[in-house]
Amino acid sequence: PLERALAPVAVACALPLIRRGFRVTPENAARSLARVEEVFRVVGERLADGREWLVGSTFGAVDLTFASLATPMLLPERFGGTLPRLEEVPATVGATVLRFRELPAGRFALRAYARLRAR
């Protein structure tokens, strides 16, 4: 209960420091989003030939790595950790998540979560 009560205060105090320290600006955010889009495009191209996994015929480290790193862009239901649900994020974030979920790379990562994560 104490942590739950103090968390919003700690976040409010830390957020300006984090933004300044990591140089979070609209321009830098747009540039980072473009980089993520490029990775999703490249992964989608790799999957375009109908392959099930990114490398080889079975699930491997590359598949795990991509699905794991794609998690913040997809908010998969079967993540197994603490993530906000789609309906809990701001509308602009939710729209971005939905857009990434519809990309071939996004569908791939979500399919990996659905097949390989226990409920």
Output the pLDDT for position 118. 62
Per-residue pLDDT of the chain (119 residues; tens, 9 = 90+): 888 888 888 888 998 888 888 888 999 999 999 999 999 999 999 999 999 999 999 999 999 999 999 999 999 988 878 889 999 999 999 999 999 999 999 999 999 998 887 65
Output the pLDDT for position 55. 94
What is the rounded distance in angstroms from the CA atom of residue 110 to the CA atom of residue 43? 13
- Give me 4's structure tokens: 């739950």
What is the rounded distance in angstroms from the CA atom of residue 65 to the CA atom of residue 76? 15
Q: Could you give phi then psi for residue 93, rounded to 5 degrees? A: -70, -45
DSSP letters, 19-85, are HHHTT--HHHHHHHHHHHHHHHHHHHHHHTT--SSSSSSS--HHHHHHHHHHHHHH--TT--S----
Output the pLDDT for position 102. 98
Residue of 32, 20, 44, 21 lying closest to 100 (CA atoms): 44
Query: pTM (2 decimals)?
Result: 0.80
